[in-house]
């Protein structure tokens, strides 16, 4: 029960982060983030894990773009670059399975990274039907540059969590299962 209370307590933190990060000077957009004239009934949404996960994901992605730089890499591109750097020659299929990204989305991610000169596709020495992925020198340079910013992002989003709470949250998230296909 304590673990659930910790997760729910920090869901409000992520929701507030999202509000702060999406606030703009535009009066219309700011008005949308203020309290409505009448409270909005969310029904069962506050009870749903997925609802809180989605709100947290939005806050995390917004802060990632702000901290890392909106034009640098998306969280998925960054994750792909990290895994490719740590696993030279990894196949696209292996990368997709590791990151739980479907094939068509992964191809688009790799295309973007390749177009920017950050990764290289090479024929796989084990399977002529697939590619082996390698990080380029430019990709390694960018990754080295972004690591400090990503660590700052992580510190920002987990700022209200102590080390034990962060470990509990990560442990709980790892226990959430994917639906059966």
Question: What are the pLDDT digits (tens) for 98-156?
Answer: 999 999 999 999 999 999 999 999 987 777 777 899 999 999 999 999 999 999 999 99
In angstroms, rounded to a whole number, what is the distance separating the alpha carbons of residues 69 and 72?
5
Give residue 180's pLDDT.
65
Q: What is the reported pTM? A: 0.74
We report the CATH number of the domain holding residue 83 as: 1.10.10.10
In the numeric block, which tokens belong to residue 50? 């997925």
Residue 134's H or E segment, with its range, is strand 131-135
In angstroms, rounded to a whole number, what is the distance separating the alpha carbons of residues 58 and 22?
10
Q: Using only the alpha carbons of the chain, give its radius of gyration.
A: 19
Provide the residue range defining the domain that includes 92. 75-135
Identify whether residues 66 and 8 lie together within a single domain.
yes
Question: What are the pLDDT digits (tens) for 31-67?
Answer: 445 666 888 999 999 999 999 999 999 999 999 999 9
In a domain, 130, yes or no: yes
In a domain, 149, yes or no: no
In which residue are the tokens 């997709």 written?
A: 96
For residues 117 and 35, the answer to whether their CB atoms sit within 8 Å is no
């Amino acid at each position: 029960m304590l673990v659930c209370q910790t997760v729910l307590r920090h869901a409000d933190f992520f929701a507030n982060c999202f509000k702060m990060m999406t606030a703009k000077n535009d009066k219309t957009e700011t008005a949308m983030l203020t309290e409505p004239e009448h409270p909005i009934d969310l029904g069962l949404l506050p009870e749903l894990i997925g609802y809180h996960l989605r709100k947290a994901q939005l806050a995390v992605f917004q802060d990632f773009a702000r901290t890392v730089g909106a034009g640098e890499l998306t969280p998925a591109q960054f994750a792909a670059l990290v895994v490719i750097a740590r696993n030279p020659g990894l196949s696209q299929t292996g990368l997709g399975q590791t990151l739980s990204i479907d094939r068509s989305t992964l191809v688009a991610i790799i295309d973007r990274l390749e177009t920017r000169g950050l990764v290289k596709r090479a024929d796989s020495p084990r399977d002529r039907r697939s590619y082996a992925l390698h990080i380029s020198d430019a990709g390694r340079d960018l990754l080295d540059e972004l690591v400090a910013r990503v660590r700052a992002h992580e510190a920002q989003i987990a700022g209200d969590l102590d080390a034990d709470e962060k470990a509990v949250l990560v442990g709980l998230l790892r226990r959430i299962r994917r639906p059966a296909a």
